[in-house]
Structure 1
Amino acid sequence: MRMHICKRSPSSARWTRELYIREDHERPGIAMKLRPRPTSKSAGLAAHLIELCSFEFEMAFAVSVKHAGQKHDLQLDPSADSPASFKQRIYEKTGVPVAQQKVLVKGGQLKDDADWSKLGIKPGHAFMLIGTAEALPVPPPEKIVFMEDMTDSELAKVSSDPSGLINLGNTCYMNSTVQVLRAIPELQTALNSYPGTLSSQQSDSALTASLRDLYKDLSSQPGGPQSDGYPPLLFWQILKGHVPQFQEMREGRPAQQDAEECWNAIVNALRGTLDSLPGASNGTDRTARFVQQYMTGEIITETKSVEAPAEASSYSSEPFLELKCNITVDTNYMMAGIKHALDQPVEKTSPTLGRLAQYQQISRINRMPHYLTVHFVRFYYNRQTRSKAKIMRKVKFPFDLDVQEILSDDLKKKTKAVTDRFQEIEKDRRERGKVRKRTKIAIAPAAKDSTIGTSAGTSDSASAIEPAAARDDDTELYTAAGEAKKRAAEYLDLQQIMDPSLTGDAGSNPTGLYELWGIVTHKGASAEGGHYLAWVKSAANPAGPAYDPISRYDGDPDKEEWFKFDDAKVTTVTRDKIAQLDGGGEDSSAYILLYRAKDLE
């Protein structure tokens, strides 16, 4: 609000500072401060010098601070409150010490010397606060509040579900990638030990540090379906600096980008910065880093002549971060698409024929990483539309993946014995899980009937309905303690038949058996548009209870829960919904799949 006032000075141009305070009749109860600002130094005759002053009203207005799922109301007076004093009042409201506060504003964090006029703060503005609160003075004891009496925000605060990420403008490609990578617990451990800073001059280091901080902030952020989500502002800014292409704008807003390119950008940055986990090695390489250790495999390629069979084949090896699944008119299953990508015809000069000749390249895996990434090649460049079109063909993917058929002959020999034995063990574990489940269900009725039978003088009634497994001599096997003991023996058995080169290769998969752990999907008809989502197995939730490898065999696989990350919105779905992400239309279809080596213990 501005107004102009003419002030007459009979003999001097000296300014008299005055404070005009009036009541705002449009917004009662709000004090308005009037400050004179000269707009010209002279106007009129010397005898009656008229100075023009421009006055600007400034007032204290209501703002809010969002932190940990709660909204705190404050008053802000830009003319009287410095950013530092405002942060002190935030501490008094939230308990987050000033030194630990990250108050997000336009352009980054609120600095102590920031100019309010350049930040565009208006009445009703909602500040986002990041930081861990310390204990405030203990209030009087409060009554117990039951969950059914809680508000949506209170329910979100106590939820152990993971938090979503706010879409900052076509950033779903980044949000979905970050959520699936977060499902790797070993990555969290490596990041927590990373000493780098956001101010690093090295782009890879800054991106790694920002991902570390983002995951830490997400860990302290309340989750659940009612959560507001978390704004990954700092990470996005650093990612755009790391990948200039992501700065592209269309129609005044950030352009949609390819999630696979974002995935590769992040993983490649981590490859050059994160050290391997303490006490781990990668075969004979004692200096291996985390990505090489847990996410990188090795491919051996044989190139043999089609036209001159007598010509000696050539061999080469190279690391890989992902397996591609090519999609053709004949591709119905993921493994078929992977094999199509691994076996490719090439043309090169033949030393035997002295001309260009046809060759066949056959690639096979010679090292399996603990985390295997599969990229469904769904986008291709359409010359007619000059854009990346989408292949919508339905391609089935497995929840349990066996890669034995695409291993090198050498690795296949090393893994066959332990793989076959582990498959037998898995079958036994599922059977024991079924028995444990039946036993738990039958315990209550058995105990009840036992009481009735005893009173009637027929003590056989209890044993008549007690499960047969529970009457075995090895009853302990069907308890959690007994199962753990059995698992230890099975694991020792596997270790004894495992090839020594695989035992010493931390971060590899010694069996070739994987389970589906996370998916990035794309919804829409082209890469330039549409929407990306993330789907993560509930067992991978870093905010939830610890992963229990024993109970995983007790439940019904069809009722297995997964988290669906639609930017800030997080919901749970069952396994049958995940199976529907195989494509066939514009709806969400699998694009990047993350597989995890099955637990041997």
Structure 2
Amino acid sequence: MSAIAVKVKHNGKIHDVNLDPSQPATAFKQAIYEKTGVPLDRQKVMIKGGMLKDDSDLTKINARAGQTFMVIGTAGELPKAPTGPVTFLEDMTDAQLAQATKTKVGLTNLGNTCYLNSTLQVLRAIPELQTALNDFKGTMGSADGESNLTAALRDLYGSMGETSEAFPPLALLTILRQVAPQFAEMTSGAGGRGYAQQDAEEAWVRLVTALQGSLKGLSQPSSLEGGSASGIPAANFVEQFLTGRMAIKRSSPEAPTEEPTFSSDSFRVLQCNISSSTNEMLSGIMDSLNQQIEKNSSSLGRLAVYNEQQRIDRLPAYLTVHFVRFYWRRDIGKKTKIMRKVKFPFDLDVTQFLSDDLKSKVLPAKNKINEISKEREERAKIRRKVRAKKEEALPGSSAQAGAATTGTASADAPRPADPMAVDPSGDDVMKSASDAPKLGAALSEEEEMRLREKESKEAQEAIHPSLREDVGCNVSGLYELVGIVTHKGAAADAGHYISWVRKEDEQKTEAGSSTGISDRTPAEEEWYKFDDEKVTVVPRDKISSLDGGGEDSVAYILLYRSKAIQ
């Protein structure tokens, strides 16, 4: 049987292709790839009755010379052949398997160590920390306890990336108990003597303190050697990425003639105070920034009450928020947990907490990022609508199947045709995709990427020069939630800690997209749940339920990352 000259329509262009009915369908699809650039695994070639499959018999589609076939799919390179021998999953080592599958591993509970495991998993969500640790040259066994702890953290994260099984953080735990004996506290109970449960926030602070004392920062621009524009030393990672600065004003209504005093102080954690009227995180943070303190008044010659107002003068790229849920009750001589429900945002705008000077600097970048984000979401909505229209028009789609089941005919349903003809719904698909008065114009991937490059440049240009040069700072006042440590149970000195970390890699790439553009909605976002050794994936809705109000897991430490335009 000789080859037939047919036509292929892709993205509005017509290509001449030879179809040989005696050859397998994959040969025809290869010929289509050579003309359109659409790889075989992305091709959707429409024929009467559905899609052309790799095992379809070309003699049975009764193709005619000059017949037009509709092809849908994104052009791109074919997968390249492996450069070395193929290794099957069952033959891989743990390290190879972890690299190939990007497995997220849990941490073994070594006896009431969930407080540490949960903290370590959230800290691991900071990629810049991974980079700095990889450059750290210290080794365990030195005389410096902070350096030992940093080396143990580096080695632990390295080991976690080379296994697909839960890993025991024994070396790090041993060193932590050496440098901070409080974590070696013992307790007695019905099950005998063992290590006591500890506070995850205290473990967080202790680990960050160790990094502060030993871990160098990331590279500064050449113009900033010896220091950043904000005055924060360039040589320290924690000061770069995890440390902010407060501008503090104190004045006393008891001494109205006394001039206010001004000072500054650094912070690594924002406190969210919880009172009987606290319903959401922002108000809890504001309560912690506006305090009344008692101190000696030089003008009055006695103790007086002062209003202390703190406003952020430098924002770190990663902002840690601590929900102050545990407090000491003097009347019962015991630590108590506040169970109150306090809502927290996935997207955080901290502009109201900033000093006037910093607020004026971040405002242009904030407005530009918000503008670009809104426009990108509108374009994503158009792409989702166009894709839905295409899928509805495809033969065998759920919409058409539903119409067939109920015996009703859709106005867009394909009409009966000669079995030799190509299903005309292919043209309908392209027409519905390009018929944009109602939907708007859907950009191609190349157009979208070019526009994103332009938007990224505009966002960079909107950043204040002093903030652009301050490595590790937040330039817009906008953050997104990436990690949470929760506490489960009513007792402050017991219960169970769990961590939750936002999935990243899987959400950056949309299936079938060669450029990595994702049209996922926030509702489709997924998170990892790290419950010691057990790692599972949960939907975004589960994260929203961690705001408290009962004895189930409740947000305790939240990690926010600077929002940026890529």
Asked if Structure 1 and Structure 2 have the same fold, meaning a TM-score greater than 0.5 normalized by the shorter chain, the answer is: yes
1:331 is paired with a residue whose SS is coil
Counterpart amino acid of residue 234 in structure 1? A
Partner of 2:194: 253
Residue 510 of structure 1 corresponds to which residue in structure 2? 475
Q: Are residues 1:231 and 2:168 paired? A: yes
Residue aligning to 1:435: 382
**For residue 196 of structure 1, what is the aligned residue in structure 2?**
138
Give the 5 Å matches for 1:57-456.
159-222=101-164, 227=165, 229-251=166-188, 252-279=193-220, 282-283=228-229, 284-285=231-232, 287-444=234-391, 446=393
- Structure 1 residue aligned with 2:77: none
Shift of 1:353: 3.2
Shift of 1:242: 1.4
1:459-482 CA-partner distances (Å, limit 9, x unpaired): 97445522545999965x342x32
CA shift in 2, pair 1:364/1:431, >3 Å:
same
The structure, 1 or 2, with the larger RCO (C-alpha pairs under 8 Å, 6+ apart) is: 2
* Match of residue 49 from structure 1: none
SS in 2 for 1:277: coil
Query: Quick one: which amino acid aligns to residue 269 of structure 1?
Result: A
Q: Structure 2: which amino acid aligns with 1:383?
A: R
State how far apart, in whole Å, the 2-side matches of 1:145 and 1:553 are.
Answer: 28
The amino acid of 1:324's aligned partner reads Q
**Change over 3 Å in CA distance of 1:414–1:156 after alignment to 2:** closer
| Distance verdict in 2 for CA 1:189–1:548, change over 3 Å | farther
Pairwise CA RMSD: 3.2
CA spacing shift, 1:526–1:445, aligned 2, 3 Å: closer
- Residue pairs, 1:531-542, within 5 angstroms: 531-539=496-504
Partners in 2 of 1:462 and 1:472 — Cα distance?
14
* SS at 1:580 equivalent: helix
Against the structure 1 CA distance between its residues 267 and 470, is the aligned structure 2 distance closer, same or farther, given a 3 Å change threshold?
A: farther
Preserved contact between residue 439 and residue 470 of structure 1 (Cα < 8 Å): no
Q: Which moved more, 1:193-202 or 1:458-467?
A: 458-467
The alpha-carbon deviation at position 388 of structure 1 amounts to 1.3
Query: 1:491 — aligned with what?
Result: 456
Q: Which amino acid is the alignment partner of residue 253 of structure 1? A: G
How far apart are the structure 2 equivalents of 1:459 and 1:584?
54
Shift of 1:172: 0.4
CA contact 1:450–1:461 (8 Å) conserved in 2 = no
Deviations 1:218-254 (Å, cap 9, x if unpaired)? 00111xxxx4x11111111111111111111112111
**Counterpart residue identity of residue 466, structure 1:** A
Q: CA deviation at 1:199?
A: 1.1
Q: TM-score, normalised by structure 1?
A: 0.69
1:465 aligns to what?
432
Whether the 8 Å contact between 1:379 and 1:526 is mirrored in structure 2 is no
Bigger CA radius of gyration: 1
Query: Structure 2: where are the runs of 5+ without partners?
Result: 1-83, 396-411
Q: CA deviation at 1:285?
A: 4.7
Change (3 A) 1:416 1:256: same
Partner Cα separation in structure 2 for residue 168 and residue 460 of structure 1: 63
Q: CA 1:208 to 1:469, structure 2 compared with 1: closer, same or farther past 3 Å?
A: farther
**Is there any run of 5+ residues in structure 1 with no aligned partner, and where?**
1-137
Q: How far apart, in 2, do the equivalents of 1:534 and 1:196 lie?
A: 28
SS in 1 for 2:476: coil
Superposed displacement of residue 386, structure 1: 2.6
Tell me how far apart the structure 2 counterparts of residues 456 and 258 of structure 1 sit (CA, whole Å): 65
AA aligned opposite 1:339: M
Are residues 1:584 and 2:549 paired? yes
Q: Give the Cα–Cα distance (whole angstroms) in 1 for the partners of residues 426 and 550 of structure 2.
A: 62
Give the whole-Å Cα distance in 2 for the aligned partners of 1:361 and 1:457.
73
Distance 1:320 1:285, change over 3 A: closer
Q: Distance in 2 between matches of 1:247 and 1:296?
A: 28
How many corresponding residue pairs? 446
The amino acid across from 2:354 in the alignment is L
One-letter code aligned to 2:176: L
576 and 462 in structure 1: CA distance in 2 versus 1, 3 angstrom threshold: closer
CA contact (8 A) 1:304 1:314 kept: yes
Could you tell me how far apart the structure 1 residues matched to 2:134 and 2:238 are? 15
Q: Would the aligned equivalents of 1:438 and 1:467 in 2 still touch at CA under 8 Å?
A: no
Query: 1:156 Cα deviation (Å)?
Result: 8.9
2:319 alignment partner, SS class: strand
> How many Å apart are 1:278 and its aligned residue?
2.5
Q: 1:318: Cα distance to partner?
A: 0.9
User: Contact between 1:401 and 1:514, CA under 8 Å: does it hold in 2?
Assistant: yes
Q: For 2:240 and 2:104, how far apart are their aligned partners in 1?
A: 27
SS at match of 1:436: helix
AA matched with 1:391: I
> Which residue of 1 is the match for residue 18 of structure 2?
none
Change (3 A) 1:201 1:560: same
8 A Cα contact 2:382 2:440, kept in partner: no
Distance 1:458 1:265, change over 3 A: closer
Change (3 A) 1:474 1:577: closer
Alpha-carbon distance change, 248 to 474 in structure 1, aligned in 2, over 3 angstroms? same
Change (3 A) 1:468 1:528: same
Residue 429 of structure 1 deviates from its aligned partner by 0.9
Seen in structure 2, the aligned counterparts of structure 1 residues 588 and 287 have a Cα distance that, compared at 3 Å, is same
Greater Cα shift, 448-457 or 366-375: 448-457
Q: Is the 2:372–2:455 Cα contact (8 Å) retained in structure 1? A: yes
Q: Which residue does the alignment assign to 1:560?
A: 525
Residue deviations 1:153-183 (CA, integer Å, cap 9, x gap):
x999974331000100000000000000000
Instruction: Name the structure 1 match of 2:19.
Output: none
- Give, in angstroms, the shift of residue 355 of structure 1: 3.0
In 1, Cα distance between equivalents of 2:554 and 2:517: 27
